[in-house]
Amino acid sequence: MAQPAADQRRAVAEFGALLAPFPGRAALTTRIAVASTLTVLIAAIYGTPETAISAYVIFFINRADRTSSIVLSLAMLVLVSLIVGLVIVLADFTLDNPVLRVACMAVLSAGLLFLTSASKLRPVGAIVAMIVGFGLDELGLVPAGELATRGLLYAWLMVAIPIGANVVVNLLLGPSPRRLAGERLAHCLRVAARSLRDPAAQGTALATALRDGVQPLPGWLRLARLEGSATAADVLALRQAMTSTMAILMAVDVAWRQPDARLPATCAAIIADTLDAMARMLAAGGYPVDITLALPEAAALPPLQQAVAKALREAIEHYAEPAASAAPEAAHSTPASKPGFMDRDAFTNRSHVHYALKTTGAAMFCYLLYQQLNWPGIHTCFITCYLVALGTVAESVEKLALRLAGCLAGAAAGTAAIVYVVPALDSVTGLLALVLVGTWLSAWVASGSPRIAYAGFQVAFAFYLCVIQGPGPGFDLTIARDRVIGIIIGNLVVYLVFTRIWPVSIAGRIDAALAALASQWQQLIDAHQPAARRQHAASAMALQRDIAQDLSLARYEPASVGPAPAWLAQQWQRLRLLDAVAGPLFLLAERFPGDPAIAARLRAVRTGEAPPAGAQRDAAAGPDDATRATLLALVDQYLSETRPAAAHAPSSHAQT
């Protein structure tokens, strides 16, 4: 049956949105492309093996800012140096004993993958495990200890070369964390301004800004202070600007969702023009202070519009001015324990051990497969297992389609390049140009939404393995064929292992995230300082995004593993309800912190109960009783509309 035309247009529009540019995407893509191309150049000059893998490492050690990219690169270099040193020590015992060598590969792989799952090694642990396995594999290909040592040094160079190239490129082209923070705040303010002028056309952009807008800023500001690109005073001002931006976005979200809350055109235009002026200042490297916002019509507005206007005015007028009373509360608060290198559940959660054993088992199966078949051309199946292993069944199934699609696309592009482009190349310069173009296109996809990022990674991997066959242009289609077959085998083996051996449903992660989300909202309601409330709001909105992504993934799990459809429907209902009432609850907490009536509504949201009795009685206290009553009534309206569906949903998420 043909897909309806409307569905086809919607699918095309969604795919186009996933490939659409956003702030920082082009810059990150360009840095990855330049660093990968520089890696290929250095490898060609020195003739190091496995240049394709070296170029691919760049995708894992790049971040949006230069400081994170450089620190991650250097940390990975130190770690790989230590591991290769360990392997050199083991070489004396394993060089002449294939069984012992394979056993060492398995033990080291399992240990490193355990750390990948249960520690801060997560971003690069799988790459390190793959390099160690490759180094030990090289031991079986050489007849003497000296050559084995040379092979291990080449394995070290596979990582050292891309790390050096990445550090140089980020020092020259990478944006500072301070600059990224200012640009991100400016982008959020522009989105808010456009939403005020034309609410109907900015829903998607506003939702994205709410969930992704200010979340990276705390990390960027810490790095900016560390590298010296921002003074202590600048960091304090920008932290206040971050929380003020969150308050602005939450207030604009209420106006977008509720037609009754939308400000008159004159009032909205004044606020939007002010936000645009603030955005220009932030994008230029400064931040606005001493802002006065005159809203002549505000006193005559209805209560809901008054709540939105007052929230916007207070956030704008004190945009980058830290509150003097914030320090005392922080001093009396209970400090949270700093996370260590290992996760809190590292030695109690069996999933970490299961992940390490499953990935190692899949990799060792592929290793023994191509060894027994005497088909070294498909050795990429061994490498692929480390690059594509995921924690849950839902992720494994969903990403399998992306990996296979990306692999086929990258293989098709690489094969076409070998047939039509490479014969016209007469030097390494042409090969570098080809790598630059192919990397840029795949990195653009890889730097986007998680819905397509894995495809971009796989496109690059397959393209590199086809095109980069040595220090110069290569024409051997057999190499490309074998490497692609290896990638497909590796993907299928990981899929079969992760869906049938100790399968992990994503439902457990959803449950934990929902509990954390409820805790964030409770802390938001209880907080008495605006900065604390707004930081909790930012964390809550990011959690809502993650939960929505996990709920979307849950449909990929088979019935024997995944949650029941009724449980999924219930969680979707609760998430949509919390998303709808987030703005009114935030405005209430801003105006009436610690109000028991707000906490009662939050309990109703969490449990799906009816709105608390006496809603109108508890709304008549204080000078702002009209605004308070209106916001409480708005929350009660959402609760009443969604309660029947939530009340009849079963509580168990497992299939029986």
Q: Who contacts 362 (Cβ-Cβ below 8 Å, separation ≥6)?
A: 385, 389, 490, 493, 494, 497, 498
Which secondary-structure segment (H or E) carries 587?
helix 565-591
Rounded CA separation 72/35 (Å): 15
DSSP 3-state assignment of 136? helix
Tell me: the pLDDT tens digits for 1-22? 445 555 455 555 666 677 878 8
Q: What is the pLDDT of residue 392?
A: 82
Average pLDDT for 448-476: 81
Q: What is the pLDDT of residue 473?
A: 64
Q: What is the pLDDT of residue 577?
A: 86
**418 DSSP 8-state letter:** I
Least confident of 235-244, 565-574, 603-612: 603-612
Contact between residue 52 and residue 411 where contact means Cβ atoms under 8 Å apart: no
Tokens of 553: 């993934």
Average pLDDT for 195-215: 83
Q: What is the pLDDT of residue 326?
A: 47
In 3D, which of 412, 524, 388 has the Cα closest to residue 467? 412
Q: Who contacts 403 (Cβ-Cβ below 8 Å, separation ≥6)?
A: 388, 454, 455, 458, 491
**Better pLDDT: 182 or 574:** 182
Rounded CA separation 245/188 (Å): 7
Average pLDDT for 34-54: 90
Neighbours of 338 (CB within 10 A): 5
Residue environment code for 155-179, b if the CB has 16+ CB neighbours within 10 A, otherwise e:
bbbbbbbbbbbbbebbeeebbbbbb
Q: Could you give the percent of the chain with pLDDT greater than 70? A: 86
Tell me the pLDDT of the chain averaged across its residues.
83
Rounded CA separation 43/39 (Å): 6
In 3D, which of 337, 247, 329 has the Cα closest to residue 527? 329
Neighbours of 20 (CB within 10 A): 10
Quote the pTM value. Answer: 0.83
Neighbours of 1 (CB within 10 A): 3
In 3D, which of 413, 416, 356 has the Cα closest to residue 386? 356
Rounded CA separation 469/473 (Å): 7
Q: What angle do CA 135, 139, 143 make, to 5 degrees?
A: 150
Q: What is the pLDDT of residue 611?
A: 62
Contact between residue 17 and residue 204 where contact means Cβ atoms under 8 Å apart: yes
**49 DSSP 8-state letter:** S
Q: What is the pLDDT of residue 167?
A: 96
